[in-house]
Each structure stands twice: as C-alpha cells, then as structure tokens.
Structure 1
C-alpha cells in the first residue's frame, strides 16, 4: 500500500473516514447543552462561543423582556434567531408569556401564572387546550421571524409540570424536556452564595454522558453573570474529558419525537 497512489477525491474520502473514526473513538459521551431565554444579556456571547467551538445546542424560547428594552421574540430579534437557525441549532417552546404552572384544578383545568403579557402576575385557570395554544404561540411567532418551525419539544418555566400539563402539550405534538440534576447550571442562584468558580467546578465534576445541561441567556437577578465566566471553560473542560456535544434532535430519549409532526 505504501506505493499506491490514490486520486485526490478518494484520498480525501479515506482521510475523512479516519478522522471521523478517531473522533468517535475519542468521544466519551455526549452532553446536550440547552439555553432558555431570559434577559438576553448573554445571548450574543453564547452564540459566538458555540459557533467558535462548532457546537450545536438547543434553545427554548419565550417572549421575555430583554436588556435592550424589547422582548426576545420581537421582530428586532429576527436576525439573531435566523442566524441560529442557519447554524443548525434546535429550538423548542418555553411558553410564549413564560407561563408558570401552579397546580391542577379539580375541574380539569390548570392553574397558571404568566410572567409577561396582558395577564402578567395574575393567576388564571386554563383548559388543557388553552395551555396547548400557549405553547404553540411560540412556534407561530418563530415562523414569522425565521421562516422555520420549532422542533416538537417544550420546557415549562421552572421545569414545573403535572401529568395534565404534559398531556396537554403532547396532545398538540410537544414532548417536555427537563434537565439532569447535574445539568443545572445554577445561573439563577445568588452569585454571593454560589460564585461562578464553584458552579463551574460542580458542573465539570458531576456532568456525565447523556446529561442535558440547562442555562439561561441572561438572568436579571444574578450580580455576576454566569456565561461570560463559565461557558468557555465549561466547554473546554468537557472536551478535555472527551465529551462531545449535540442538540436534542440526537438525544435517544427524544429521537422518535422529532419524527412526529406538530399540529398547526
């Protein structure tokens, strides 16, 4: 073989196969990075960091107030979301008005409290159909902004769900995605009690292959923002341990969900 000359295309193909095989052998497991909307103060930094490392993540979107004075699903954010679509990231609903589930009512309804929108801060009683429509509102807006649909997944604000809310979402095609215990970034916690260095080390020590990691694209209440200090070293540290990254489209628990069609 040492004296065999191959056409350029064949040589390139063989080289790519060896590279792919080496990458697969080096991968000690997959981490699924996910980001929920928030103040959006770290949105550009997160996008730039992921792009620099050629990592695809999953974003869960709600129409939240941002540090720009607008909302995260306003037309002003269309260029940002279009760019993320072009990069190949995945997208799910976080409910349009960031609606918290409070409890299931005895009448078959759900007690909820929107954080934004006309009913912000007011407890309301919704039918399962209304709850489903709230999840789907994000898809409608996302399609207006980007021309693309959301993926058939959602995440409840605070991760708070019930069998009834899960069934309501599934009835219109959406599977709920939480996060691993080790995957909680801690970016909602007090930075005095939980400094970034402590949160970073905790993540690096505890994350394992298959874990879903969750952070926000900016948290109003945290004095020392999480992403600028932690995202880059987190990715570098996980890569050093041999971990790979993927969107939830590749997660074995959700692969079948992505073959389904969300009801319009």
Structure 2
C-alpha cells in the first residue's frame, strides 16, 4: 500500500512539472522573439514595429545599389548612391505624398569628378562605356532620352543594375517641341519618367535639359521644376564631343578646362554615349586615367551634387 501511495505521489509531481512547462512555453518563446527581425520584401509595403503610416515604405521589385524615395518622411540620410523615386509625379499627387526633396548639404571635397553621358541608351556605345567603367570600378551618370529607352530597354536596365545613376533627358530631344513652354518641357520629363519606371521600376529625380538650360529656360521653367521636385543638372567641363572631334581632341578639351582648379571640388564632365559618339568611347580610358592619376574621387550625380556653377 505504501508503494502505491509513493507511486501516486511521483505521478502527481511529474504531472505538475509537465503542466508548468506547457503553460510557460509561450512566454519562453516570446522572450526570444525579436519583432524587428522581419526582413523587408521587395515590391511590398513594409511595417517596422507597428503598422503606422509614419514608418511605411515601398520598395521596387528590382533593387540596385541606390537610395529610394518612398512614403516614409524619415528616410535614412543620403549617401554616394544614385537616387530614385518609387513613385512618379502623378502617383505622388494621387496618394497625397510630398513632391518636396529632402534637405541635404552639397558635397564638396578637394578633388571630385562626376562623369556624365547624354543621349543614350545606345545599343553600340553604351554597353562599351559600361564595360570600361566596370573594368575601372567606377560609376557614372547617364541622362537618357525616352525614345531611345523605348528602342533599347535592356541597355537601360543594365545601366541601372550595375549601380550607375540615371537622369531624365526629355522624351524626344527635339528643341522646337521641347521648349515651346515650361509645360511642354515638363510634359516630356513626365512621359520619360513613365517609360523609365516601366523598365526599371523607379524613376529619377534628376534631369538635364538638352542643350543646357541657358538660353532655353525662363523663370517659369525653374519654378515648375522646383514645384514638381526635379533637380536640373548642368556641367562645368565639356568634352566638346558634340562636334566631329576625334578622341585625342576630346581628351585635350577636358584637360585644358581642368586648369581651372576652382572646378576640382565639384567637376561635372559632359560627354555623350548616343549614336555617332564612338570617339568619346575611345577617349574614355584616357579620361578616366587622367582623373585617377590625380587621385580624384569618382561620384554619381545625386541630391548631394553641388550646382555646376
């Protein structure tokens, strides 16, 4: 009888231990759960800690090494990366999101250079330019034309995926249509934004006027661009490759202008990778070597880039 009583006591004790483990196990799991360990998924709205509109942000389906503007007004600070917007102007207006750009300080250093290429993407020149840039481990900025993107979307996709910056260079580059008014100019930018976003999932906030803003822009142009959140990007060193100059002449044009050391802190070089600019491609290795030999820092155009002048 004593043995049965002792066995009953053991059984009750064991049951009590099991019951305690069952009750406490959810608490133990919660103790090791980290609510911040959720990994964001591309192409979806993501919530950190709590689903409040303040912390919500959207990412594109295909992510490159870039900074993305989205719904979140508390994005991390900008860096050396290209800047893209997840939303077009129309989408921001429809969603009631701000078109205002983040307040950032311009980046100056003792020696900085931004290599820029206009009028692409081109199926012959742009891939070779990309190969050269990749072999030297540097990034550049490509101001692209809408009609060219429609013909060669894969080339634009490569520019994006390899971490270069992309800027808007109008839809058709036809001056008589482009510069009728501020509205016609912006209309071409917005049309090209839509085309770019269809190809890479985002659109740029930087733009460059074909032929430059001087002589084409009035006060109304600048006000309209500012209102819609575009950053117009000029240049302060021209390669002169819009002419029939050969590679040697293109290189010398750049070197001569670099005598002005006031430009060294924010050099922006204008080149072209569009059709007919094979001499620019041939000059590019020497141009890169010139800046590398002088320990220049290569950067892309973004919101931290100072005005050219």
Query: Which TM-score band applies after superposition, normalised by the shorter structure?
Result: 0.5 to 0.7
Displaced runs of 4+ in structure 1, greater than 6 A?
Answer: none
Q: Residue 78 and residue 252 in structure 1: after superposition, are their counterparts in 2 closer, same or farther (change >3 A)?
A: closer
Residues 33-52 of structure 1 mapped to structure 2, 5 A cutoff? 33-38=115-120, 40=122, 41-52=124-135
Q: TM-score, normalised by structure 2?
A: 0.56
Equivalent residues of 1:155, 1:177 under 8 A apart: yes
Q: 1:167 aligns with which of 195, 220, 223?
A: 223
Per-residue Cα deviation, 1:18-41 (whole angstroms, up to 9, x for no partner): xxxxxxxxx851101111125824
In the alignment, structure 1 segments of 5+ residues that lack a partner are 1-26, 65-71, 101-111, 115-123, 255-264
Residues 1-264 of structure 1 mapped to structure 2, 5 A cutoff? 29-38=111-120, 40=122, 41-64=124-147, 72-74=148-150, 76-100=151-175, 112-114=176-178, 125-126=180-181, 128-150=182-204, 152-160=205-213, 161-180=217-236, 183-191=237-245, 195-207=246-258, 208-220=264-276, 225-249=278-302, 251-253=304-306
CA RMSD of aligned residues (A): 2.3
Find the residue that maps to 1:36 and give its secondary structure: strand
**Which protein has the larger Cα radius of gyration, Structure 1 or Structure 2?**
2
Equivalent residues of 1:96, 1:134 under 8 A apart: yes
Equivalent residues of 1:43, 1:218 under 8 A apart: yes
Residue 205 of structure 1: CA displacement? 3.9
Q: Residue 248 and residue 135 in structure 1: after superposition, are their counterparts in 2 closer, same or farther (change >3 A)?
A: same
Q: For residue 69 of structure 1, what is the aligned residue in structure 2?
A: none
Equivalent residues of 1:131, 1:169 under 8 A apart: no
Q: TM-score, normalised by structure 1?
A: 0.65
- Counting matched residue pairs gives 190
Equivalent residues of 2:157, 2:199 under 8 A apart: yes
Q: Residue 250 and residue 129 in structure 1: after superposition, are their counterparts in 2 closer, same or farther (change >3 A)?
A: closer
Equivalent residues of 2:121, 2:145 under 8 A apart: no
Equivalent residues of 1:188, 1:219 under 8 A apart: no
